[in-house]
Chain A
Amino acid sequence: MVSRRSLIAGAFGLAAGSALSQISLRERRDPDAPVLVVLFLRGGCDGLNTVVPHGEDEYHRLRPSLALRRRDVLDLDGFFGFHPALGSLIPHYREGRLAVVHAVGSQDRTRSHFEAMSAMERGVAAASEHASSGWVARYLNERASGPSPLRSIAFSNVLPDSMRGGTSGIALESLKQYRLRGEDAQARRFRRSLAALYASGEDVLTQAGRATLEALDLVENLPAAPSASEPYPKSDLGRAFAQTAQLIHAGVGLEVACLEKGGWDTHVAQGATSGWHASLLEDLARSLSAFAADIADHLNRVTVVVMTEFGRRAYENAGLGTDHGRASVMLLLGEGVAGGTVHGDWPGLTPESLEEPGDLRVTTDYRAVLSEVLRRRMALERVEAVLPGFGGQGIGAVA
């Protein structure tokens, strides 16, 4: 048990709370600070039908119904092509702002969503490895700059595992909803009381209370966003990107935004040029493209990483879907990436090249891509502190 003295001191933490909230937004602003946007596609995005190896005969043979025909894909380099739903990303690819990494994944072979996601969100090779915290949280701990409570935001109801272990992560569904009830004097008094209650205490929830109160202050004083030149889709993802852009424009000290899009677990009736997978891709592409246009002035310091926990089986199943697989794709968007190229080491889809029982082999560790982004775009010095146990090199996906 703790001393009475420290408990009482907690009650008078009121003074400390209000002093903190007096540091203005202006003082927190750092116009050159890098920003990372991580978009996690949950469910296992089928990389083979996203960035299609249309030049490989095996692809067409393994997926009699699901394969995209050569004439339907948007060719990138004669071998790979984008799914047609990714049309809005073509200019960004051609102009060097978008890079693709193929045959990328983790070392987790369980093909379990939770294990593979857990591995990637904790930044380890496979789920069996020990790390209680998430890699985004470790990155923020390493940086230790910027006191803004809006350093790291997740546009989601639940804080993702990648942000666990940090003291600053906030999960928001929408910036507009981020208000405490009431505008009158009583509401203000209530707010001060909350600040007193949460002033001391180092457990997870009390720290979260303090972060919430500070975030409320900042979000309520956000400047209105400039109008977007390319409209965002009216989807959750579109909205999440739009609000991320708003926070970037406002310079509130955002360092990492974690976005997510679910629904990629296409076990049955996946569709090819149209259908389930295609509509997911369309939302993804239009959201990314709108975001790139919205923050064009900031693209020199913003990097978007799109990743998924695993890809899907090379051959289709009886339900015209695909089962859990291994390697998939990653996308990188930003002016600092080596765009216009499909990076990685393509292992092929012949029976000998596939990993039992028929999955695209992982030839690039996802951490190689993350380590490059963190080192070259996010000013990280000690990569090993964020990706423990990863001693590998990058793959040149970041310029």
Chain B
Amino acid sequence: MNRRELLQAALVGAGASFLAGCGPGLRSLVGSKSLGVAELPPHPEPLARTLNRVAFGFNLRVAEEVRSVGRERWIARQLDANEDEDPWLALQLQRLDVFNLAPAELRDLPEGEVVIQLQQAAVLRSVYGRNQLLERMVEFWSDHFNIYARKRFAAWRKPLDEVSVIRKHALGKFPDLLFQSAKSPAMLEYLDNDANLKGKPNENYARELMELHTLGVNGGYTQQDVQEVARCFTGWTIENRFGRQRGTFRFDPSQHDFEEKTVLGHRIPAGGGVEDGERVLQILATHPNTARFIAGKIVDRFLGDAHDEWRDRLGELYLQTGGDIKAMLRPLLLSQTLLDAPPIPKRPFDFVVSSLRALSATTDGRGVLRYLVDMGQPSYEWPMPDGYPTASEAWTGSLLGRWNFALDLLRGEVPGTTVPALEGIKPIEATLGRRAGSDSLSALLLRQDLRREEALALCLCSPEFQWR
């Protein structure tokens, strides 16, 4: 059944189950009048929508900032990503060993602690970071260049990857991001490229590089290309020789296949060393299918749907600007399409971070982590290279975890986390960023003599707070 047939079936009243099973392409139609679907969340105002998409959710203080500066100017500033960091945040991050110890010293920390600190930092930055768009793109690229921190030594290698690959280039140029990722010891370890040897190449990284990082699975490469690319990357490994500074990238010519190769129709002459792999990266970074694939992913992340027109437009921008991520984001973020786009379901990380922001909570970022485990999205713990799924259907099991988090949060039972009194603020306004919620939520808050904590918990648990 193609998508058109699925839609016909839905209209003929095959029932909600088909709608529930729709692939991403049909999500945009779920809210349309013609389908007569009951009660999606009320359409958000531009301010709330902007903070939900460009940032990690509505927050009273940031909303004030956006109002006074003007939405478009605020978005432009977020694209520059130049805001001074929140001093309190900087202090919290300074206390974490993972970003303050040299890799050799970091090795003394147990793996569990390293992963927890990485996760803590992700929460803290997403909640409190002033450069919110940067944090959104860090999340995006962390999914795109997924690294599973529990594989072998990946945990101890990930902090360097986070800082010098992901964070450094999240709003930079995609080719730079790609090149740094390819040489990142964390990535070399994760996709076995450090065990890619002359004579018997390991295809893992070669395949995922093309399938997931650049061209996309339909990007026109063959099994033969995978094997040739693997040959190009032979000898790429992690320094571990006696007396050298270990844990950095190293090209080992003794393990490199110097023979001629052909990749995607390009002849790579014999005799090339590390340049073989670099040439592959260059071919991939400038390939039109990469432009298209990356554009498509960005569009899907920000509009919640495939959108051919925007994908083509951003793909063009990619090719014109050499993969400049800001240049691609700018028109999209300022567009009316972003404001009018249908709601995107929040993944658990989104839900937790937006809850903490909505309540202006103070957290050490650590106590919330076990809730993310319950909901199924602890950062850096997705084993497969494709990153945590974005489709809403994947997260339907996380609702109980969300409700329990909201309840514990408002009862002060989330470790290391407190919520201020928020006197004089209406619960719906504080959490959803608008005056009124859905009728069922508003009715509930009116009908009973609720304590403030309960009212706020209900807002966080409400269907509408699960969307952005």
Contacts and interface: CB of A to CB of B under 8 A. Distances in A.
A1 B43 contact: yes
Most chain B CB neighbours (cut-off 10 Å) among A166, A178, A201, A268? A201
Most chain B CB neighbours (cut-off 10 Å) among A154, A180, A194, A356? A194
A4 B443 CA distance: 12
B21 A166 contact: yes
A8 interface: yes
Contacts of B383: 262
B386 A114 contact: yes
B223 A203 contact: no
Nearest 8 CB-CB pairings of A with B: A165-B21, A171-B397, A157-B376, A318-B200, A132-B23, A208-B396, A133-B21, A11-B440
Nearest to B348: A157
Contacts of A181: 403-404, 407-408
For chain A, the bracket of interface size reads 35 or more
Contact of A8 (B16, B197, B375, B443): B443
Contact of B463 (A159, A198, A211): A198
Contact of B202 (A115, A182, A319): A319
Interface stretch (B33-41, B94-102, B166-174, B329-337): B33-41
Interface string A199-243: 111111111110110001000000000000000000000000000
Contact of B192 (A186, A196, A209, A267): A267
B192 A268 contact: yes
A262 B223 CA distance: 24
Contact of B443 (A11, A114, A203): A11
A132 B21 contact: yes
A305 B195 CA distance: 35
A222 B380 CA distance: 35
Contact of A212 (B3, B345, B399): B399
Given A200-B39, A317-B202, A319-B202, A194 B20 contact: no
B463 A166 contact: no
Interface string B20-48: 11110010001001001111101100000
Contacts of B268: none
Contacts of B458: 190, 193-194, 197
A180 B404 contact: yes
A137 interface: yes
A143 to B, nearest CB: 12
28 contacts: A2-B38, A2-B39, A8-B440, A11-B443, A11-B444, A13-B440, A42-B384, A110-B217, A113-B384, A127-B217, A130-B2, A130-B3, A154-B397, A157-B373, A159-B393, A165-B18, A166-B17, A170-B397, A180-B403, A190-B458, A197-B461, A197-B462, A203-B20, A203-B40, A204-B19, A209-B463, A318-B195, A323-B204
Contacts of B200: 317-319
A271 interface: no
A126 to B, nearest CB: 11
B389 interface: yes
B21 A196 contact: no
Interface in A151-195: 154, 156-159, 164-167, 169-173, 177-178, 180-182, 186, 189-190, 193-194
B457 interface: yes
B399 A208 contact: yes
Contacts of B136: none
A359 B99 CA distance: 44
A158 B443 contact: no
Most chain B CB neighbours (cut-off 10 Å) among A2, A131, A170? A2
A357 B389 contact: no
Contacts of A10: 38-39, 438-440
A165 B391 CA distance: 11
A367 to B, nearest CB: 16
Interface string B242-263: 0000000000000000000000
Nearest to B462: A197
A174 B26 CA distance: 33
A112 B204 CA distance: 10
Given A158-B389, A173-B374, A132 B404 contact: no
Interface string A341-373: 000000000000000110000000000000000
Contact of B376 (A115, A170, A171, A317): A171
B145 to A, nearest CB: 15
B197 A318 contact: yes
Interface string B384-410: 101001011111111110011001100
A22 interface: no
Nearest to A207: B20
A356 B40 CA distance: 50
Most chain B CB neighbours (cut-off 10 Å) among A6, A112, A208? A208
A167 B454 contact: no
A357 B17 contact: no
Contacts of A178: 400
Contacts of A356: 223
B204 A267 contact: yes
A172 B42 CA distance: 30
A379 interface: no
Given A8-B443, A205-B467, A115 B217 contact: yes
B17 A141 contact: yes
Nearest to B378: A157
Interface in B427-466: 438-441, 443-444, 448, 454, 457-458, 461-463, 466
Interface in A103-119: 109-115
Given A164-B393, A202-B37, 6 more contacts: A2-B38, A11-B440, A164-B394, A197-B441, A212-B399, A324-B207
B461 A111 contact: no
Nearest to A178: B400
A202 B38 contact: yes
Given A11-B444, A182-B407, A199-B440, A164 B217 contact: no
A105 to B, nearest CB: 16
A180 B30 CA distance: 30
Contacts of B398: 157, 171
A291 to B, nearest CB: 22
Given A177-B374, A267-B192, A167 B16 contact: yes
A87 interface: no
B18 A205 contact: no
A388 interface: yes
Interface in A1-53: 1-2, 4, 6-8, 10-11, 13, 42
B440 A196 contact: yes
Contacts of A206: 39, 463
A206 B404 CA distance: 17
Contacts of A111: 207, 223
B467 A114 contact: no
B1 interface: yes
Contact of A165 (B2, B17, B42, B441): B17
Given A164-B391, A190-B457, A268-B192, A203 B444 contact: no
Contacts of A13: 440
